[in-house]
Amino acid sequence: EAQVTQNPRYLITVTGKKLTVTCSQNMNHEYMSWYRQDPGLGLRQIYYSMNVEVTDKGDVPEGYKVSRKEKRNFPLILESPSPNQTSLYFCASSLDTEAFFGQGTRLTVV
Amino acid sequence: DAKTTQPTSMDCAEGRAANLPCNHSTISGNEYVYWYRQIHSQGPQYIIHGLKNNETNEMASLIITEDRKSSTLILPHATLRDTAVYYCIVRASNTGGFKTIFGAGTRLFVKA
């Protein structure tokens, strides 16, 4: 089954403790992307990647890092999480038209 | 990418057609109109997209005006499960790096 898989689905962590949210797709898509969704602000793009080793900033990249060492994986790294990064995160992948989204990761930073 | 304008919310009776409008008056010639929906904090789901011709698939129909400045997504027989936020997005099909801007969308309430 074609899918985008994010892990974990839920995470509560403390300020400053590094964490990684994984994202994997099985459709051999070139494009992958991370979004965060906050009440009243909608979906905002954090980072995106055109292909392996090619990444670029979206609209809200501060406080986040990404890597694209393999086509199927696109982890989101928070080196020093802060409470303002509490949010619902979505990973997506695409060939060029339809985007497939993961089920989301709800992150709480206390 | 061009900006889109959608109503904040709409109601629809179950079994009736839901017509969701979208304005994109600054759309460029190479930009497509995409529709996605998001059901209660799940990942957004692709519905349909088009360039200038009307499109139809198993989920919906997309009507694009001749001047391409607006479009309408039609759910022909809305069900309770169609209650969701619907996003209209304009982007070039192969836009570099898949940069996509989601607006606030339209919250559709389908009522029994």
**How far apart are alpha carbons A8 and A5 in whole angstroms?**
9
Cα distance from N-terminal residue to C-terminal residue, chain A: 36
Question: What average pLDDT does the segment A42-66 reach?
Answer: 93
Write down the mean pLDDT value for chain A: 94
Confidence of residue A1 (pLDDT cuts 50, 70, 90): confident
Q: What is the model's pLDDT at position B97?
A: 43
Q: What is the model's pLDDT at position B96?
A: 45
Q: What is the model's pLDDT at position B45?
A: 94
Q: Do B46 and A98 touch (CB under 8 A)?
A: yes
Reading the block at residue B112, the tokens are: 């029994």
CB atoms within 10 A of CB A89: 22
Q: What is the model's pLDDT at position B29?
A: 87
Nearest to B98 among A4, A48, A88 (CB): A48
- For chains A and B, CB pairs below 8 A equal 61
Cβ atoms of A13 and A21 closer than 8 Å: no
**B32 vs A contacts (CB less than 8 Å):** 97
In one letter, which amino acid is A83?
Answer: P
Q: Do B96 and A94 touch (CB under 8 A)?
A: no
Tens of pLDDT, residues B55-110: 999 999 999 999 999 999 999 999 999 999 999 998 876 654 456 778 889 999 99
Q: What is the model's pLDDT at position B108?
A: 98
**B46 vs A contacts (CB less than 8 Å):** 98-100
Instruction: Among B98, B99, B100, B106, pick the best mutation site for testing chain A contact (most A Cβ within 10 A).
Output: B98
B67 to chain A, closest Cα gap in Å: 22
Nearest to A49 among B41, B42, B97 (CB): B97
Tens of pLDDT, residues A15-40: 999 999 999 999 999 999 999 999 88
**How far apart are alpha carbons A90 and A43 in whole angstroms?**
9
Q: Do A104 and B45 touch (CB under 8 A)?
A: no
DSSP, collapsed to helix, strand or coil, labels residue B9 as strand
Q: Kindly identify which residue of chain B lies nearest to residue A102, measuring between CA atoms.
A: B43
Q: Do B43 and A99 touch (CB under 8 A)?
A: no
Tens of pLDDT, residues A63-98: 999 999 999 999 999 999 999 999 999 999 988 778
Q: Do A42 and B43 touch (CB under 8 A)?
A: no
Q: Which residues contact A68 (CB under 8 A, 6 or more apart)?
A: A32, A49, A51, A52, A53, A54, A55, A74
A100 touching B, CB under 8 A? Answer: yes
Share of chain B above pLDDT 90, in %: 76
